[in-house]
């Protein structure tokens, strides 16, 4: 039996929502799991991409054996029903840039988990899939939108369950995703964060999260400009993303721009704006990075409302 699952990219944090806020984006990985008939072959994992650089990156960021995140997720699912994985062939058709803050690892975990769940006859419901995937990933901000789609506020509770609420992203606002050519591993990006933060910074972000939810619900542009500010992670990661501070400054006074934030751990950047003046936004980001000899892909996207889903199944 063979199952293929299509999973969207995700952008986490989005300013103040550190480790709890994420959105799905229309860039996709497709994960295919096939039960092989040859005993003793174990697990075979392949990364397939039109981008030759992905193969080199996958060696560094994606283990391709039983130590891989995708295999760990599959193994946890099998173990939860008292089984061990059989011989499996796993193909990752990769279109989500690796180590760019766009949820590539979450997509692999989620795709493998949902494909394995189909192979097993769907023993796990959504709550179980969220819990297992978050256990492997470590936090739910990318996992949840990858599974359910849309803009999602999520929390992993003390009993390891994941509680989430989908928010309605206003159609009037668009997301310009700016993806630099260089990678930044999540481990490195997390290593610069302090273990403790000043109380005033924690309060600042709590206020901004409240503003974010209200701005989304009321489509309040001016409130959203305040809401997208952060003091918990972006100031510490600024030095890891050349040009970020200058891009933020260059966009700050542009009409119709609501804010500029890191996507997840970076180095990709999200520019939130109204739908006009997009060419100017593209130009400002491109020119700023060009001055630093940084090449980038810049795309204006909508929020992907659909999460991971099965696209092919063969007996």
pLDDT at 55: 46
Two tokens, residue 5: 């699952």
Break the chain into its structural domains and give their ranges.
2-167+303-314, 173-301
Lowest mean pLDDT among 65-69, 114-118, 258-262: 65-69
- Distance (Å, rounded) from C-alpha 259 to C-alpha 257? 6
CATH number of 2-167+303-314: 3.30.230.10
- Distance (Å, rounded) from C-alpha 190 to C-alpha 28? 25
Query: Would you tell me which CATH number, out of the four given (3.40.50.1370, 3.40.630.30, 1.20.120.1200, 3.30.70.890), belongs to the domain 173-301?
Result: 3.30.70.890
In the predicted model, is pLDDT for residue 70 greater than 60?
A: yes
In the predicted model, is pLDDT for residue 53 greater than 60?
A: no
- Look up the pTM and report it: 0.92
**Mean pLDDT, the chain, integer:** 91
Specify the residue for token string 């003793």.
40
Q: pLDDT digits over 174-229, tens only? A: 999 999 998 888 889 999 999 999 999 999 999 999 999 999 999 999 999 999 99
Average the pLDDT over 245-260 and give the result.
92
Cα dist from 132 to 79, 125, 187, 300, 306, whole Å: 11, 11, 21, 32, 20
Q: Let me know if 36 is exposed, middle or buried by CB neighbors in 10 A (0-12, 13-18, 19+).
A: middle
């Amino acid at each position: 039996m063979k199952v293929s699952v299509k999973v969207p990219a995700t952008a986490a944090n989005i300013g103040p929502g550190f480790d709890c806020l994420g959105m799905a984006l229309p860039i996709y990985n497709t994960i295919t799991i096939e039960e092989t008939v040859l005993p003793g072959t174990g697990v075979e994992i392949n990364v397939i991409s039109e981008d030759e650089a992905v193969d080199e990156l996958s060696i560094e960021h994606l283990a391709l054996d039983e130590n891989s995140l995708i295999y760990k997720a599959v193994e946890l699912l099998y173990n939860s029903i008292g089984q061990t994985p059989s011989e499996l062939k796993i193909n990752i058709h990769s279109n989500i840039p690796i180590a760019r803050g766009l949820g590539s690892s979450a997509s692999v975990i989620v795709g493998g988990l949902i494909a394995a769940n189909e192979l097993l006859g769907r023993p796990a419901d959504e709550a179980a899939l969220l819990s297992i995937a978050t256990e492997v990933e470590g936090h739910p901000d990318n996992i949840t939108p990858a599974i359910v789609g849309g803009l999602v506020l999520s929390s992993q509770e003390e009993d390891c369950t994941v509680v989430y609420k989908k928010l309605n992203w206003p159609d009037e606002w668009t997301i310009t995703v700016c993806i630099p050519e260089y990678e930044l591993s999540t481990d490195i990006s997390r290593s610069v964060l302090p273990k403790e933060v000043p109380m005033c910074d924690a309060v600042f972000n709590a206020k901004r999260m409240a503003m974010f939810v209200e701005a989304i619900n009321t489509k309040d542009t001016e409130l959203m400009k305040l809401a997208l500010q952060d003091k918990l992670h972006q100031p510490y990661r600024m030095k890891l993303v050349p040009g970020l501070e200058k891009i933020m400054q260059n966009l700050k006074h542009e009409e119709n721009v609501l804010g500029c934030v890191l996507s997840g751990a970076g180095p990709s950047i999200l520019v939130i704006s109204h739908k006009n003046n997009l060419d100017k936004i593209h130009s400002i980001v491109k020119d700023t990075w060009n001055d630093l000899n940084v090449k980038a892909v810049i795309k204006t996207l909508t929020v992907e409302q659909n999460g991971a889903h099965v696209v092919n199944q063969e007996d």
